[in-house]
Structure 1
Amino acid sequence: MKFNLFIKHFLKNMVTKTAWVFPGQGSQVVGMGKDLATTSLGEEYFKEAQDILGWSVLELCEGDTVNLSKTLYTQPCLYVIQCILVRLLKENQVNPNLLAGHSLGEYVALYAAEVFDFTTGLKLVKSRAELMNKAVGGKMVALIKFDRLSLNEIIANTPDVVLANDNSEQQVVISGTPQAVDEVSHKIKAKRAIELKVSGAFHSHLMKEASEQFQILLENTDFKEAQIPILSNIEAVPRTSEIILKENLKKQMTGSVRWRETMVFMVEHEITNIIEIGPGKILSNLFKKEYTQIDTRSIGSLSDF
């Protein structure tokens, strides 16, 4: 009897801290979101998205990989689908302690924290996708298993290339002019070097013109204080201030995605559960490889509920 009371007391006082994370471009898969259209909420969001975008998210997602992988379409599709999943979770009284999104995923994190509504966020994502889609002349390459000190030194001594995505200790993405990216790729000894299928050098200084145009739109968009703390890409520090969150978003298009530091912060602040909301398991797998003590789960469709 005493043992059972002890167990009840232990379970009652055991604290579980959960973070929701949202993947960005590259996580898209053909067929994503189809089952969400069977819900009244999904039907509503897909219709509203079509009115704003002028094209059907569902049709794009059920089409071919080539079109779905174009920045112009990928980003709005991911945003809409992830927002539907967020709403479905919240309608079931599920809420996290912390939020973070990888690049585009940060917009879903802001929506989940009620910084802006679905329509406002989609209009921002639509403009972001259009501006980024116009960017040409850049290149991005993912590097896997390398010496970080050597990479930092090579980048420091090579103009027009930056560390765009610091995803984990052994996985990064470099971004810049094709010549500079190729030079770094040839100099660093990495197990794998994978060229990404993107039009421009995202998250680098080469996106300055697009970033400046996007900032004008951000200035005229109302943000509210976040109801859940968000770890922004640009600084990997939890924020709720609408002023700071907007400033961080302004810097995001040209700044590095500091995902490795985001994961470190979560572990150091005793996050015990990671729920990746969106297609695939890209972010979940990053956590699994680095931190086996954290429980991970992916929710990308109705069946995952």
Structure 2
Amino acid sequence: MNYKVAITSGKGGTGKTTVAVNLFSAIHKNWTKKVQLADCDVEEPNDLLFFKNATLVSNDTVNQPVPKIDESKCTFCRKCEEYCEFNAITIIPSVNYAAVDPNLCHSCGACLHACEYGAIEDQPHAIGQIAHYQTEAKAAIAEGSLRIGSPMQTRVIKDLKACVNEDSDIVIFDAPPGTSCPVVETVSDVDYVILVTEPTPFGLYDLRLTVDLMREMNKPFGLVINKAGLGDSAVYQYLKEEKIDLLAEIPFNKEYAVQYAKGNLLSDIPPVIEKEYNKLADYLKNRIKND
């Protein structure tokens, strides 16, 4: 059984991907080679941008079952249309028209239950892809990508999580930002969650929402403060009041931000920053031993 860690943040731009990529690299370099990074931010995956010359190992299509209506069997009674909670079915009896919009369908199966004439059956509909890569250092990365226009992030994330390497010692899930369904799906069965925030009023506001979600889901979690040294001290007061573990502080460094913008996140890491990621990796290592 591998140990699953999700890294998420209440808002975009806090440095979630920075933490995920660097932690993955630190674990692979100093702890175990059997670590995998899975990019679950399927609407905009970008973890792979920071690994030069990664080799594509496999690429699989993610399909969603979408109903198709056989007009030769359909009586155009509109019962399936009434059952559909997502307005994905259009029935026009006057012109014998029946169709399902795959972009609105959530594959709930209500229409299949509603139809009494056997006029509806599921067919596969592509909504995204899952790609597996290997870095130059022989590290494994999996990436989910959603088809543009599809609302089914959670299905792609679920399939991505299902295909991680079972022999990995630890899997790092880079979750989407926010507190919506894709985040819930990503962290639903992980062993530990690392929250990333910045010491600003906006960062604290969204952190509160994320903390409420983690507690509602009964997930153990700790916090990493990125861009430490900017903003104010309100987030530190909040951690103290809520008794939340501060796992690491990544200091703001202009040159490091420049490296990020160039896609060189893993090159020339300042020692003070590298020390924090190694400390975070050691924390997880000790936590696994004690769990």
One fold, TM greater than 0.5? Answer: no
* Larger helix proportion of the pair: 1
Instruction: Kindly name which structure, 1 or 2, has the bigger radius of gyration based on alpha carbons.
Output: 2
**TM-score under structure 1 length normalisation:** 0.25
* Larger strand proportion of the pair: 2
